[in-house]
């Protein structure tokens, strides 16, 4: 399993649209193997937004990157309003998740 981390700068006026865009793309991302996607903001409200995605493998993530469906999502108006930093991939080497995590829906 791998985790991808990316910081993004979301203009305040686009925040709700950006979060809706993430939610609207859920089905297509899940169809391509994504296990989780979390959008995090600093508790202080000062700083960049962090997007974390979890994938079964590098191969599944690479296949997603190469799909026309991803290209369609990134061509959207909402995606174009956000400033994206490079993605950093992390191999999962330890840790745990509770059963409750799978049942959580973050809105």
Smallest Cα–Cα separation from 58: which of 35, 32, 89? 89
* pTM for the model: 0.87
pLDDT > 80? residue 101: no
The string of pLDDT tens digits covering residues 61-96 is 999 999 888 877 777 888 888 999 999 999 999 988
Where exactly are the structural domains of the chain?
A: 2-92
5-31 average pLDDT score: 92
pLDDT of 105 reads 61
CATH placement of domain 2-92: 3.30.70.100
Coil, strand or helix at 32: coil
């Amino acid at each position: 399993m791998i985790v991808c981390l990316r910081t993004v700068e979301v203009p305040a006026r686009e925040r709700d649209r950006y979060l809706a865009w993430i939610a609207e793309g859920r089905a297509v991302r899940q169809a391509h193997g994504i296990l989780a996607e979390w959008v995090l903001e600093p508790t202080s409200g000062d700083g960049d937004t962090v997007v974390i995605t979890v994938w079964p493998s590098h191969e599944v993530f690479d296949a997603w990157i190469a799909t026309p469906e991803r290209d369609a999502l990134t061509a959207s108006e909402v995606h174009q309003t956000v400033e994206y930093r490079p993605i950093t991939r992390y191999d999962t080497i330890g840790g745990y998740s509770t059963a409750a995590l799978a049942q959580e829906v973050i809105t």
